[in-house]
Structure 1
């Protein structure tokens, strides 16, 4: 039988928690932008408790969760992926838009936003300072520490509005909440954390963040972090002696250090608020601020309208089955969205990099009536300038050709049958694939909303063109696998030789120029980039092997031979390496996946090659049966004749961010290698001195009969 508190919780609606329109507008712009990346979107989301709550709830649902709780926002965002995140943001925005606008409610949301973000930033800073191992978990828990308050405010807006206006202190507010709702926001928040499986310590941290100090002095580290962060996130925290007493009693922090941390976080919150145009210091009754908030609500309405229009346009474009049909659909959508007539599409030809235009005379046939080619030289026409600068340009407002447009631009003015043209680059993942040229009779500048909508529409058009091109390409005759492999081999061979020559020339040039630090540093950068190009070529050649080995398990000897052959035309050439291979032909095919073995071997061979700056010898060896303490292992040994590894590095060789190869390397290669070997049930060890380094891998024998 359900007890009374559980029944109270289950009656609460928690899937429509509101956010400030300022936040939602920024999220929508980022989600729809053709240039925004995952990190930009996640940064905005991480500043808002309501959207973060939706993300965490969804990521921990049975559909997405694959075992193990997701207790950090970063991991939740990665699990969901970009498209799902966009859906979450768009859904929240539409719900918020239709919920109406209320000045008092917006003021409350500002206060809630500031307190939540302050607590999150403080929790993360204090977690790092006090060596808590999961600072991201502390951030998320701090961000959600008052989420129960938002739930109660959403479910009981009239009653909670009166409670807010009374400006009672936190302890009095909890008492009033309990009287009104038979529960209070700390318990509601803890219940939600339990529902999302964020862990008992996170739940306790939220349940007890308003408890008496003595009740949490012996609690878990996270509970104490959130308790202190909640206290310090109050606007007048530094005016209350209790803040310093708690910091001292819980973590031994001095008053001076506590004040410094709080001041830094307060400044950071102010900067974030300014970037989002949120006036967090305003008070109810401020007419100017109320007007600003209304403008944000209008901006949110515009974004919601844009979503509907773009979705309609996308549905229209997705029905096209040929380029003529698609181009007609683009014209119709552009006129509906912007009133721009006669829109034309020009695509960049990947074979020569020239912008090309085809005018189809009959939508039922592919024969072209007119073909135009435009060289991408920005000084020669407005359209080329728009593509090269990745900028939307209106012919009436541009300054490059103030007296008269070049002939090719005037040609498109005539085609669109308008007084002016707007040139809109079409990008996919930051790369321009073409341009939309749209006709307009207006001389006015494009508004920010129109500019944003044009950018989003051009991305939809680019995606539609790419989808159609892929469909056409897939239906055409393709190269056989053998022909593709020959072409890849030829390309690798042709590219590897000049790379090797250039790198060797740089080595000689470095010797001639002497020890000038700046020059040597620049030459090192050039060599790094040449090596990186070699690795790209290496991956290209490796593509032909991905489907070649269809037999079960992995042939370790074959993997070594394949990699050795692969590296002959790239890594070995660029580093002047001689590789000596000694393989035990009694070694049988082993159970398991080839990819981890290949990654381990690649990391070790690359490390050995890069350790010998002037070139040298590498030895690769396998043994089919090595007995250690009564167990049979396969042995793989990689030996180089380099200068050896210093003792201080050797003692932490397999730890992350330990590298002897300069600041441009991450130092994660051997850490990853060790983890992969461990997952295979094996061990890895290293011996090194001034004459070289030897790395031994032992993997349990698991022969395939």
Structure 2
């Protein structure tokens, strides 16, 4: 960093960086949508440097980071969670709306947005092309490469506006900023990256992206990527020979390939801008820009009302209270009166409307039942088809509404009704019927708000209904039950091996041998032990000391020898073992490896009911995407795995063994392999099944 007092940076306000209204509107709509998922919200945020900066900053604060460095946008979003992200977006929108906006500011933000997104997309594309191992880091750095510019513009709006309007060439921008602000946007950006712990090379990439090319030719890969991406993201990049010279000198990229990449990214940015209604080519504030300002105001109002509504609904302690709260909230939000709540009764596949005699009890004064037949009522049609329907504009019943719909027109004391399905996690649980006096079409903004409101009402109903029933098992109890099932399943493996060995021993000795009675006693005791395990209720958890490594070849030899006189014999299995003798002892958990091998060998043997060939093999070095793995193969000549099972092979209860098998074996196997940083894959046909296990090479010398 240049020699400047830290006080200069400390005085800068970085928590109110502006975004285009177009972006904020899109984010607010996504945050308030009942159908928007995490990936959609993440995609929108990743297109805007200002919101991304807020997210990264908060995720690395002492409250959230817990001492761990959050150095990617994806990680930051996971750390913060959906509700915090919503708060960030809403806060940014409110600050933006009340900060004042003028034409020059709008045009600057458009240019800043385009340049930042272009640089991010270019950095990611070039990172992939040049085999940089962290293309997402390159994207994030490119998105934030000019964030210092936005900080200076926010803190010194008048001075920075004059600097922008003077059309200063980029080579002189840093010099002028140093003169005006005693710092420049590159140093400010690098300082922020250091505050957020995004990494040394990330801060260097931002600090030096305007340096002379000779100064960065031997710099870190990321520094060179951002330097080139910044150059190529300029409006006139393709008109400057310097752009092609930099690409050639840094990465040996030809002019034709460089141009192809730039044009591709430019087209992608244009498409994204069009999807957000951003006119990036206009030099003036357009009607769409003004419209987005109005939409932003509407969304801010919606956000405030919805937050108030959610707080109101959360205070309800019974369904009657909740229904009244929904009615009050609907009138506050939409002006719709007399809202009625109907919940699906699965016992007779109908919607049930219940009016209670008082708010403090569950005495039903009136009850109506509406069959879920879409052709028989507007309300049922809305519920079944998950569609909002306004009786004033519907064409389902052109002559007259069915009597049950007319009854709700009277209940709401309005000339028209609007039926809104209530959906939780994709499942319809009921419907809201709202009284509407206007015959106007429902606007897209109202539709969006109705969708979100009904979702919140549905969640509140489900929570109260669940609370009124027997409390479900806690997450700790569910985890305990799962662990018990796993232990029971895995304990059966050695027991079955011993029992199979006794079976084969009895055959070898013959029926007349004196030891047959003792063998029967042992078999009965093994069966009794199995029953005791099945009655297991308490699980004592403890960590066992693990050996410092594992000899995979030796484990395979030991197990194959153990199974030779029991499992292989009883299933007429001929086992062939082919081991890579140069495979060294590996770092890892011996018990995990042994359990994985036991499960896979047992599954393969039991799949061949009439006997067959089993092949076990290892390979010390299999390269996948540039990384070395130890390969373990378990292949049988059985009938193969049915397609309907193959798709969920590693999920619990996906089993082809019939009764007596829990279907946990391959699920546990996959979890153990994943814990070791490896992977498991399956190839199956009617001529047999191959299981391939890949574990990262970690040799113990």
The superposition leaves residues 538-581 of structure 1 with CA deviations (integer Å, 9 ceiling, x where unpaired) of x9x997733759xxxxx96863429999xxxxxxxxxxxxxx9x
Q: 1:696 to 1:360 in 2, by over 3 A?
A: closer
The corresponding residue for 2:534 is none
Alignment partner of 1:197: what SS?
A: coil
Q: 1:105-116 counterparts in 2 under 5 A? A: 105-116=105-116
The superposition leaves residues 165-214 of structure 1 with CA deviations (integer Å, 9 ceiling, x where unpaired) of 11111121111111100000000000000000000100000000000001
1:465 corresponds to which of 447, 461, 470: 461
The corresponding residue for 1:515 is none
1:292 corresponds to which of 265, 288, 291: 288
The corresponding residue for 2:139 is 139
Range with bigger deviation, 26-35 or 325-334: 325-334
2:344 corresponds to which of 336, 343, 348: 348
The corresponding residue for 2:384 is 388
CA distance in 2 between partners of 1:695 and 1:246 (Å):
44
The corresponding residue for 2:9 is 9
CA distance in 2 between partners of 1:373 and 1:563 (Å):
57
CA distance in 1 between partners of 2:407 and 2:574 (Å):
64
Give yes or no for contact 2:124–2:135 (8 Å, CA) kept in 1: yes
**Cα shift at 1:650:** 8.9
**Cα shift at 1:404:** 1.3
CA distance in 1 between partners of 2:494 and 2:53 (Å):
47
Q: 1:222 to 1:545 in 2, by over 3 A?
A: same
Give yes or no for contact 2:616–2:632 (8 Å, CA) kept in 1: no
Matching of residue 676 in structure 1 with residue 607 in structure 2:
no
Q: 1:677 to 1:251 in 2, by over 3 A?
A: closer
The corresponding residue for 2:443 is 447
Alignment partner of 1:64: what SS?
A: helix
CA distance in 2 between partners of 1:439 and 1:312 (Å):
21
Q: 1:325-474 counterparts in 2 under 5 A? A: 325-474=321-470
Q: 1:389 to 1:590 in 2, by over 3 A?
A: closer
Alignment partner of 1:15: what SS?
A: coil
CA distance in 2 between partners of 1:186 and 1:142 (Å):
13
The corresponding residue for 2:535 is none
CA distance in 1 between partners of 2:631 and 2:364 (Å):
58
Q: 1:388 to 1:191 in 2, by over 3 A?
A: same
The superposition leaves residues 421-455 of structure 1 with CA deviations (integer Å, 9 ceiling, x where unpaired) of 00111222222221110001110001122222212
The superposition leaves residues 646-665 of structure 1 with CA deviations (integer Å, 9 ceiling, x where unpaired) of 99999469969999999968
CA distance in 2 between partners of 1:192 and 1:544 (Å):
45
TM-score when scaled to structure 2? 0.74
CA distance in 2 between partners of 1:380 and 1:650 (Å):
67
CA distance in 2 between partners of 1:377 and 1:657 (Å):
56
Give yes or no for contact 2:4–2:183 (8 Å, CA) kept in 1: no
The corresponding residue for 1:301 is 297
The corresponding residue for 1:489 is none
Give yes or no for contact 2:417–2:433 (8 Å, CA) kept in 1: yes
Alignment partner of 2:339: what SS?
A: strand
Give yes or no for contact 1:334–1:343 (8 Å, CA) kept in 2: yes
**Cα shift at 1:674:** 3.7
The corresponding residue for 1:166 is 166
CA distance in 2 between partners of 1:450 and 1:245 (Å):
54
CA distance in 1 between partners of 2:317 and 2:454 (Å):
19
CA distance in 2 between partners of 1:186 and 1:666 (Å):
52
The corresponding residue for 1:561 is 492
TM-score when scaled to structure 1? 0.74
- Structure 2: which 5+ runs fail to align? 497-522, 530-538, 546-555, 557-570, 576-584, 606-612, 636-640, 651-665, 696-701
Alignment partner of 2:278: what SS?
A: coil
The corresponding residue for 1:545 is 481
Q: 1:274 to 1:690 in 2, by over 3 A?
A: closer
The corresponding residue for 1:572 is none
Q: 1:273 to 1:646 in 2, by over 3 A?
A: farther
Q: 1:190-339 counterparts in 2 under 5 A? A: 190-284=190-284, 289-339=285-335
Q: 1:40 to 1:644 in 2, by over 3 A?
A: farther
The corresponding residue for 1:574 is none
The superposition leaves residues 294-332 of structure 1 with CA deviations (integer Å, 9 ceiling, x where unpaired) of 110110000110111112222222222221111112111
Q: 1:677 to 1:237 in 2, by over 3 A?
A: closer
CA distance in 2 between partners of 1:381 and 1:65 (Å):
53
The corresponding residue for 1:178 is 178
**Cα shift at 1:164:** 0.8
Give yes or no for contact 1:395–1:421 (8 Å, CA) kept in 2: yes
**Cα shift at 1:349:** 2.2
The corresponding residue for 2:582 is none
CA distance in 1 between partners of 2:494 and 2:296 (Å):
55
**Cα shift at 1:380:** 1.8
Q: 1:19 to 1:562 in 2, by over 3 A?
A: farther
Q: 1:106 to 1:221 in 2, by over 3 A?
A: same
Give yes or no for contact 1:556–1:589 (8 Å, CA) kept in 2: no
CA distance in 1 between partners of 2:254 and 2:693 (Å):
49
Give yes or no for contact 1:116–1:146 (8 Å, CA) kept in 2: yes
Matching of residue 154 in structure 1 with residue 154 in structure 2:
yes
Q: 1:593 to 1:457 in 2, by over 3 A?
A: farther
**Cα shift at 1:69:** 2.3
**RMSD across aligned positions (CA):** 4.1
Range with bigger deviation, 327-336 or 632-641: 632-641
CA distance in 2 between partners of 1:657 and 1:332 (Å):
64
**Cα shift at 1:41:** 0.4
Give yes or no for contact 2:629–2:694 (8 Å, CA) kept in 1: no
Q: 1:589 to 1:471 in 2, by over 3 A?
A: closer
CA distance in 1 between partners of 2:95 and 2:3 (Å):
32
Alignment partner of 1:546: what SS?
A: helix
- Structure 1: which 5+ runs fail to align? 482-538, 550-554, 566-579, 595-603, 605-614, 620-627, 698-705
CA distance in 2 between partners of 1:463 and 1:136 (Å):
35
The corresponding residue for 1:102 is 102
The corresponding residue for 1:592 is 543
Aligned residues between the structures: 574
The corresponding residue for 1:488 is none
Give yes or no for contact 1:114–1:280 (8 Å, CA) kept in 2: yes
The superposition leaves residues 60-86 of structure 1 with CA deviations (integer Å, 9 ceiling, x where unpaired) of 122222444222211111121111111
Alignment partner of 1:435: what SS?
A: strand
